[in-house]
Amino acid sequence: MESNGSAAGPSASAAVPEAAVGRAVEVVIVTGLSGAGRGTAARVLEDLGWYVADNLPPELIERMIELGVSADPPIRRLALVMDVRSRFFTGNLSAVTEQLRSGGVRTRVLFLEASDDVLIRRFGFARRRHPLQSESADGTLSEGIAAERARLASAKTAADVVIDTTALSVHQLHRKLEEAYGGGAPKALQVTVQSFGFKYGVPLDADMVFDLRFLPNPHWVPELREHTGQDAVVSEYVLSRPGAQDYLNTCRHLIDLTTDGYRQEGKRYMTVAVGCTGGKHRSVAVAEALGEALGEASADIGTSGQARRRQRSVTTQRPDRADMDIVRVVHRDLGRE
């Protein structure tokens, strides 16, 4: 990754809206060669809290910032993906960035590139035509890439950050972008612990599934049948069964191992599904206990009634790492007959 100074260039249409002056507005213009990772960069920036607008003509930047500042809540971090697919984009960004910066808008340009052989291989895997391929003299992919390099030469010169993705994996690119544009925010991982009933089906978005059907079912205990796993009498019954605590500790250990790996791979969301037969007793009790164990603190979210019974949030600073985990406990099938 290399840094360049901003270069001057011909005038471009991009005035700064008065509403943005004096406001904490950040703009990142994402550009570069087709196949070098613009789409990946856009997704990463979106995960980092940037509002991403794809293929926006330079003439609309002013209006986009204006709309963002006046939105509720206002958009303070705007990522604009610009490339040769747009006939309005000539590759010159100097005038645009200088106009924005002179108006007090913090503006950075990210340029992504890769070697010709890697770009050719990526286009071959994707089975797509290069956007400038048909404009080249012989219609070849190599000529299309060469034409795009020439057209975007001034954009690369104007870039604040240039990333060569030739030897980078998707996860390595993710980490570089996070370092450059994460704003110093903690790399929080949102973990959702979801109880469910197997008879209603396993949650489709589950990353891990734990089966509690090996524990005795409180449904067959008359005095517990009408209660749920959120009630102390049921929770104490379930968690005191032989093997319950060992299983709970093992679940937590596996989740800790997995979340550490997720964080390294740039993933920010994880769903842990905890199931029993009907999703009322065992899975609910263990999901509650697991959420407490993972979070080591709890705070009810601002809901009431049935919604409050079915979901709550746990946010804590783990003592063994500097980042912040957000743990949500959701009971999908609680209340079903």
Q: Give the torsion sign (CA, 130, 10, 2, 183).
A: negative
Closest listed residue to residue 252, CA positions, set 292, 205, 306? 292
Determine if residue 85 is labeled as part of a ligand binding site. Answer: yes
Determine if residue 275 is labeled as part of a ligand binding site. Answer: no
Cα angle for residues 74, 76, 80 (degrees, 5° grid) = 115
Determine if residue 34 is labeled as part of a ligand binding site. Answer: yes
Determine if residue 36 is labeled as part of a ligand binding site. Answer: yes
Determine if residue 252 is labeled as part of a ligand binding site. Answer: no
Cα angle for residues 100, 104, 105 (degrees, 5° grid) = 55
Determine if residue 313 is labeled as part of a ligand binding site. Answer: no
Determine if residue 39 is labeled as part of a ligand binding site. Answer: yes
Determine if residue 37 is labeled as part of a ligand binding site. Answer: yes
Determine if residue 33 is labeled as part of a ligand binding site. Answer: yes
CA diameter of the chain: 82
* Cβ neighbours of residue 181 closer than 8 Å, sequence gap 6 or more: 28, 45, 48, 50, 110
Q: How many CA atoms lie within 13 A of 320 on its CB side?
A: 6
Q: Provide the annotated binding site for GTP.
A: 83-86
Q: Provide the annotated binding site for ATP.
A: 32-39
Q: Provide the annotated binding site.
A: 32-39, 83-86
